[in-house]
């Protein structure tokens, strides 16, 4: 009988020893300042006995997308989509060859395209993203993502999301938070796949947009995407987009670049408990290492302001056990 008790005790001990691993919502995060900041913040705002308690309806967390939730090098994924799209459409538009910007995009001349600056990139977006219904555009995005591969990792772009950030999104939602994407990327570029990839509903995506008009087509109501910018959800546009779409100031914000500076400022300057975090790309082996000198995900002013503002830098190399999901 004693032997039986001993066996049962050992089995029980083994069973209970597995609980922390099974219940570890942030399994891909190493112990350190970044993980501690997250867990401490969530503990304080969810404990009814805490002076920092925040009711669930006010637990709003906002996330940038490119470079914060998925890979943004060697170029933004939406730019890769636009380049693929213009090559597909080029045979139908021989007049594009007379436009230096569009010709550079068709020819893959990234140097010329880069020198065209924001104006040139907007022109590229207009000709590849407009002239169709939102449903048609989102179908194009879905079809492209199903076939496209990242040039370095040779995997679909939706497989190159950050496992620690997926865990963070889920962890926050488990603790009564509502999670939003607030990105400079196109709102209708992200909406088709945000729920499947991030668990974020289309209504919880805030992004840049082009103008859309209502019209009757063959006696049926329709929406048409126009070649004209409606709203740019980047830099100072992010707090504006948050106000317009969400209607209240978040209590937590996560970004990775100077394009997220104003979102971090707006979020963390409010009253009560606040959390601001910046993903710092420091891992050239598993992903990329870049900050101040990068054209994509340029991180300079926000990094300099982080300490004074109380924002936590997430060091990808030091803070993450893994970068991408192994099963994707």
pLDDT at position 7 is: 37
Q: pLDDT tens digits, residue range 175-206?
A: 999 999 999 999 999 999 999 999 999 999 99
> What CATH topology corresponds to 27-73+161-319?
Rossmann fold (3.40.50)
- Sketch the domain layout of the chain as residue ranges: 27-73+161-319
State whether residue 5 is helix, strand or coil.
helix
Task: For the chain, give the percent of residues with pLDDT over 90.
Answer: 91
Kindly list the distances between the CA atom of residue 60 and the CA atoms of 102, 179, 180, 246, 273, in Å, as whole numbers in the listed order: 40, 6, 8, 9, 12
- At residue 322 the predicted structure's pLDDT band, cuts being 50, 70 and 90, is very high
Task: For the chain, give the percent of residues with pLDDT over 70.
Answer: 92
Compute the average pLDDT of residues 97-106: 96
Kindly list the distances between the CA atom of residue 287 and the CA atoms of 36, 71, 202, 248, in Å, as whole numbers in the listed order: 24, 8, 28, 34
* Separation of alpha carbons 24 and 157, rounded Å: 27
pLDDT at position 2 is: 44
Task: Answer yes or no: is pLDDT of 13 > 50.
Answer: no
Q: pLDDT tens digits, residue range 269-282?
A: 999 999 999 999 99
pLDDT at position 118 is: 86
**Number of Cβ atoms within 10 Å of the Cβ of 315:** 18
State whether residue 47 is helix, strand or coil.
coil
pLDDT at position 1 is: 45
Q: pLDDT tens digits, residue range 102-135?
A: 999 999 999 999 899 889 999 999 999 999 999 9
Residue of 111, 97, 57, 81 whose CA lies nearest to 251: 57
Cβ proximity of 60 and 272 under 8 Å? no
């Amino acid at each position: 009988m004693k032997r039986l008790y001993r066996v049962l005790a050992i089995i029980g001990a083994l069973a209970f020893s597995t609980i922390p691993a099974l219940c570890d919502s942030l399994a891909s995060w190493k112990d350190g300042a970044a993980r501690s900041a997250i867990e401490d913040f969530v503990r304080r705002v969810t404990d009814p006995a805490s002076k920092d308690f925040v009711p669930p309806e006010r637990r709003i967390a906002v996330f940038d997308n490119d470079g914060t939730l998925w890979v943004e090098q060697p170029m933004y994924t939406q730019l890769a989509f636009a380049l693929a799209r213009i090559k597909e459409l080029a045979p139908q538009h021989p007049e594009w060859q007379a436009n230096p910007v569009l010709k550079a995009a068709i020819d893959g001349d990234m140097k010329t395209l880069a020198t065209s600056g924001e104006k040139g990139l907007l022109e590229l977006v207009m000709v590849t993203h407009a002239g169709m219904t939102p449903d048609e555009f989102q179908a194009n995005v879905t079809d492209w993502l199903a076939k496209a591969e990242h040039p370095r990792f040779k995997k679909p772009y939706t497989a190159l999301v950050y496992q620690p950030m997926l865990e963070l999104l889920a962890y926050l939602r488990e603790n009564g938070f509502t999670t939003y994407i607030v990105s400079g990327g196109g709102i209708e570029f992200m909406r088709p796949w945000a729920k499947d990839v991030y668990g974020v509903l289309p209504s919880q995506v805030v992004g840049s947009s082009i103008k859309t008009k209502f019209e009757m087509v063959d006696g049926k109501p329709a929406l048409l995407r126009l070649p004209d910018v409606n709203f740019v959800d980047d830099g100072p546009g992010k707090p504006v987009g948050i106000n317009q779409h969400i209607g209240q100031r978040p209590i937590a914000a996560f970004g990775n670049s100077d394009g997220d500076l104003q979102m971090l400022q707006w979020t963390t300057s409010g009253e009560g408990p606040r959390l601001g975090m910046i993903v710092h790309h420091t891992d050239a082996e598993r992903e990329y290492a870049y900050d101040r000198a990068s054209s994509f995900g340029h991180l300079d002013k926000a990094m300099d302001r982080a300490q004074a503002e109380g924002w936590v830098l997430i060091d990808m190399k030091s803070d993450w056990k893994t970068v991408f999901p192994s099963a994707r």
